[in-house]
Amino acid sequence: MKLISTEKVKGYNKYYMDTAVECKIANSKGQLYFVFEHKSYPDPGVLLQILSYMTVTWDEQKKKNKPLTPVIPVVIYHGFSSWNVTTHFQGQFNSLNESVKPYTPEFNYVLIDLTRIPTEEIEQKAKDTPFLMASFAFNEVGSFT
């Protein structure tokens, strides 16, 4: 894998994908973008936010006459309440009729719900990884907060 540039510009706005790599996909050279979106509360707008990352990436590639790159969205949730947002785009529409589905975009995101991972497991992984440990706040008794 080789990291590639992640800065995208649309109009006056700059977007940054978290990670973009060039790699082999089914024995062929290809590129994948990974977008990591961190959420501390269930955000029903996350699907539109991810879609905007995807479209700005593809708009730029089209302008440069380059092939489109698949974008794999990952949402990392670390809030207090349960994540109750659908993980697929069409799921945000109320009672989407089957006859309309073929004309509506569809994609999923990977959900990493840290609230479902025991605190001890997160603390242990953080202790084994200095970068991750530095990223977390610990209270005075050394517990993950």
Terminal alpha carbon distance of the chain: 34
Question: Is the pLDDT reported for residue 9 higher than 50?
Answer: yes
Q: How confident is the model at residue 143 (pLDDT cuts 50, 70, 90)?
A: very low
Full domain range(s) for residue 42: 2-117
Q: Of how many residues is the chain composed?
A: 145
Do 83 and 113 meet the contact criterion of CB atoms below 8 Å apart?
yes
**Pair type for strands 19-25 and 13-16:** unpaired
* Residue 93 maps to a domain: yes
Q: What is the pTM of this model?
A: 0.72
Neighbours of 8 (CB within 10 A): 20
* Residue 22 maps to a domain: yes
* Residue 13 maps to a domain: yes
* Residue 143 maps to a domain: no
Nearest to 71 by CA among 46, 35, 104: 35
Q: What is the pLDDT of residues 11-31, one digit of tens each?
A: 677 766 666 666 677 877 677
Number of folded domains that form the chain: 1
* Residue 141 maps to a domain: no
* Residue 72 maps to a domain: yes
* Residue 27 maps to a domain: yes
* Residue 138 maps to a domain: no
